[in-house]
Structure 1
Amino acid sequence: MLPSHPWLCIIMYISTTRLQRMQHVQRLLDQLQPDASPQVVCAPGTRQPQDTIIIFTGSFNPPTVAHLALLKQAQRYAKAQLEPTHLYAAFSKRTVDKEGVERPLLLDRVILLQDLLCTRLPQTGILLFNRGLYVEQAQAIRHSFPKVKRILFLMGFDKIEQIFDPRYYEDRDASLEALFNLAELLVVPRGSAGEDALAELLQRPQNQRFARYVQSQPFDPAYRDISATLVRERGASYQHDITREVRRFMRDTRAYDRPVKRADGSEVDIYNERIQYLRQRLGPVS
């Protein structure tokens, strides 16, 4: 069943090839159950992790030029290593502190990031996790990909503050010991939080024993204040913070737009119409 309005038909149109890609990704997402033990799968076209891997987990809602800059910084770090090092962006079906984010669909965000990385960072893969905590993601990697020798998580300063925050744990130190037995952290500044703020965090008595597992990475100050939240909320005012691929996605799907008024005064949520369109072709989507 197609949308009843011709202009919606134009917006909703998705090629057969793209629908097949979306169907493949949705099948993988369906395998990931947030309440199951830690799980990870490779998105289509991503090679299985091995050797040393760097993982940048995010909601990418939407991916900004700052996300790309972080990945490029990780790529430079990888090239400087003395051992093979591979880079991955990653999504979780359960993201800590972002459980309420429902649109655009995770399916749409995965496909968009695939398109973006294919053009901008073609050697970067995508991993899909069922759980949001880094320790759970590290456990999933170790269980599923035994050829991985070393795991590094790439993150901004806001994330490492979260990692050391006791309110996220029943037993913080035991959880951190479990994490650092499996992985290390690469931290880049965000906003005004630079190397001094990271050093101060790591020098706190309760954190000192974990400091050796954390490395600071430089980051161009021009990207520090870029926010996906502002792009979502203010759209056109922040177009310079996203690439043409993301601008096209936002224009074509209206994922962040408010409902549109019809001539009769009723409203239509164009992105919700897209969801219904996908459900008619793919079945349940998430």
Structure 2
Amino acid sequence: MRHVQRLLNQLQPDADPQVACAPGTPPPRDTVIIFTGSFNPPTVAHLALLKQGWRYARAQREPAHLYSAFSKRTVDKEGVERPLLLDRVILLQDLLRARLPRTGILLFNRGLYVDQARAVRQTFPRVKRILFLMGFDKIEQIFDPRYYEDRDASLEELFHLAELLVAPRGTAGEEALAELLQRPQNQRFAPYVHSQSFDAAYRDISATLVREKGKGYEHDVTREVRRFMRDTRAYEGPLKRADDSEVDIYNERVQYLKQRLGPVS
């Protein structure tokens, strides 16, 4: 945890694009497939999408390597106060070791894919090809002009540096992706977008619903995640004591980590 927090401290969102490898992650080289998310918490859908990335990697004629990734600045996401980014990195690291042991973890200071691609190219010169793995909601965001001062210039830079590997959920998602890429303003970027089929059974799995403990949420996460949720109470409110006072178990964990590690993210 100390090593991970030290790396997070070095990543400044207002600095030039930066990337670091989590402990135990080999430096990227050759073809890299990167799946960036908040993983709050990681669900079975996240794991299934990473497995799709591995299927694509195995089909490549040159060596390919898969990475999940976090950003200290996440685009269009809720303000995450708990659990800490530190806890989410450690949880995903433990989960991947158990379930997808050849998958590494990258840490970025920026949320935009173009900044992440720039950071990888500048930091790891042995990388030959970058693909960002994502669901359909992300590619809609990428083509949305609201996120850019100059959308086309930014997309030209992005696709000069990287390509996209999109996993739409089911036939409807594939049709929606085709329609998005056929729009006149997007057609010239279509050759850089590759589709990878994804089981529609994962359509309704949501990390938000897991955090809110919706019906059947236990089936949407693995036992490692359920254990983390139970032990840390990161998604729970305060507990009431017999004298009607309250104690926030996760906040006590954060205070303990601050004492041991200093400021934590």
Aligned counterparts of 1:133 and 1:73: Cα–Cα separation in 2: 22
Q: Deviations over 1:17-49 (max 9, x none)?
A: xxxxx0010000000000000000000000000
Letter in 2 for 1:138: A
Alignment of 1:140-219 (within 5 A): 140-190=119-169, 193-219=172-198
Q: Which residue is equivalent to 2:37?
A: 58
Partner SS for 2:35: strand
Letter in 2 for 1:53: V
CA 192–238 in structure 1, closer or farther in 2 if over 3 Å, else same:
farther
Q: Deviations over 1:235-278 (max 9, x none)?
A: 67300000000000000100000111111212211111110011
Q: Which residue is equivalent to 1:44?
A: 23
Aligned counterparts of 1:167 and 1:247: Cα–Cα separation in 2: 37
Q: Which residue is equivalent to 1:34?
A: 13
Letter in 1 for 2:144: D
Alignment of 1:244-255 (within 5 A): 244-255=223-234
- Tell me, yes or no, if the aligned pair for 2:170 and 2:198 is still in contact at 8 Å: no
Q: Which runs of 4+ in 1 moved over 3 A?
A: 190-193
1:263 equivalent among 239, 242, 253: 242
| Structure 1, gaps ≥5 residues long | 1-21
What's the % identity of the aligned pairs? Answer: 84
Q: Which residue is equivalent to 1:238?
A: 217
Q: Which residue is equivalent to 2:117?
A: 138
Aligned counterparts of 1:63 and 1:151: Cα–Cα separation in 2: 23
- Greater shift after overlay, 131-140 or 263-272? 263-272
Aligned counterparts of 1:90 and 1:235: Cα–Cα separation in 2: 26
- Greater shift after overlay, 191-200 or 58-67? 191-200
Q: How many positions carry a matched residue from both structures?
A: 265
Aligned counterparts of 1:175 and 1:47: Cα–Cα separation in 2: 29
Aligned counterparts of 1:109 and 1:73: Cα–Cα separation in 2: 22
Aligned counterparts of 2:256 and 2:170: Cα–Cα separation in 1: 39
Aligned counterparts of 2:86 and 2:172: Cα–Cα separation in 1: 32
CA 118–162 in structure 1, closer or farther in 2 if over 3 Å, else same:
same
- Tell me, yes or no, if the aligned pair for 1:56 and 1:154 is still in contact at 8 Å: yes
* Deviation of the 1:97 alpha carbon: 1.1
- Greater shift after overlay, 94-103 or 213-222? 94-103
CA 232–54 in structure 1, closer or farther in 2 if over 3 Å, else same:
same
Alignment of 1:14-163 (within 5 A): 22-98=1-77, 100-163=79-142
Letter in 2 for 1:213: Y
Aligned counterparts of 1:272 and 1:192: Cα–Cα separation in 2: 44
* Deviation of the 1:70 alpha carbon: 0.3
CA 219–191 in structure 1, closer or farther in 2 if over 3 Å, else same:
closer
Q: Deviations over 1:132-189 (max 9, x none)?
A: 0000000000000000000000000000000000000110000000100000000011
- Tell me, yes or no, if the aligned pair for 2:170 and 2:199 is still in contact at 8 Å: no
CA 235–272 in structure 1, closer or farther in 2 if over 3 Å, else same:
farther
CA 236–30 in structure 1, closer or farther in 2 if over 3 Å, else same:
farther
- TM (norm. structure 2) is 0.98
When the two chains are superposed, the root-mean-square deviation of aligned CA atoms in Å is 1.2
